[in-house]
Amino acid sequence: MTVNADRSGSALGRGLASLIPQRHTNPAAVVEVALARVTPNPYQPRRHMDDDGLQELAASIREHGVLQPVLVTETLQGYQLVAGERRVRAARLAGLERIPALVRQLADRDQLEVALVENVQRADLDPIDEATAYRQLIDEFGLTQEGVAGRVGKSRASVANTLRLLDLHADVQAAIADGRLTEGHGRALGGLPVDGQAHVLPTVLGQGLSVRQTEELVRRLREPRAAREAPQAAAPRLDPDLERVEEDLRQRLGTKVSLSRSRKGGKIVIEYYSDEELGRLYERLIGGTA
């Protein structure tokens, strides 16, 4: 007698998967995961987090719970966070042991992209963090500026302008990151050499200059050098040492300074353009208020 075995219903012939219980998860389903098993995202683009804001979020979580699930990817040790670092930190501060999460399997680049896009959409990144994440996508994962722009929903020009912030002096970057300066201020200061940016920064911050005023200040500081280098300039050039002193004074005082020599010495001309600027110069030169 011949027996026709039904291979489709046999464990044999269906491979190892038929012998091992398989967990089928709905990718849209929210599960509760233990916070102790959640590790940080190594590609988290956000480097700065406001402590007061975290405390406020923790208080809200104590009252209402975590309203939006975090995104994690499963690892052998537990779960690796992809997006939702503020919620995880605040949940721990609130004393929670578990947190709602969406579990997805994502490659390294996808983890950075998802975290970056979420933060950009929620306006949770400062411009320097955003620029650093763009640079990481380009340098580590081979994306072009156009590719980055497509993933975050911005124009290529916007991505390029944000990336230029990374060329600024470290002090200027820090001021943009903590909100003391805007991206517009950064782009204006980018018209100066890196060392010159550091010299002018206290003036911009101390006087609370607008972007337009900062652009004008940078223009004034750049004009004398351009005039000296212009072909039609007929004025006698200072010797290199005096030129260096003149440039240092401009950068230090944040305004136009001219040196000229005479037979018995010379003169220094310091220009100012408002009473407020005169007061600032007086304070800087004398060490007190006028």
Residues marked active site are found at 85
Q: Distance between CA atoms of 167 and 173, rounded to whole angstroms? A: 9
In this structure, which long-range contacts are made by residues 87-91, counting pairs with CB atoms below 8 Å and at least 24 apart in sequence? Answer: 87/57, 87/61, 88/35, 88/38, 89/49, 89/54, 90/54, 90/57, 90/58, 90/60, 90/61, 91/35, 91/58, 91/61, 91/66
Given a contact cutoff of 8 angstroms between Cβ atoms, the answer to whether 91 and 147 are in contact is: no
Return the H-helix or E-strand segment holding 102.
Answer: strand 98-103
Return the H-helix or E-strand segment holding 120.
Answer: helix 108-121
Eight-class DSSP state of 128: H
**Helix/strand/coil (H/E/C) assignment for every residue in 220-278:** HHHHHHHHHHCCCCCCCCCCHHHHHHHHHHHHHHCCCEEEEEECCEEEEEECCCCHHHH
Residue 11, SS3? Answer: coil
Q: Distance between CA atoms of 73 and 104, rounded to whole angstroms? A: 5
Structure tokens at 185: 């201020």
Tell me the backbone φ, ψ of residue 182, rounded to 5 degrees.
-95, 170
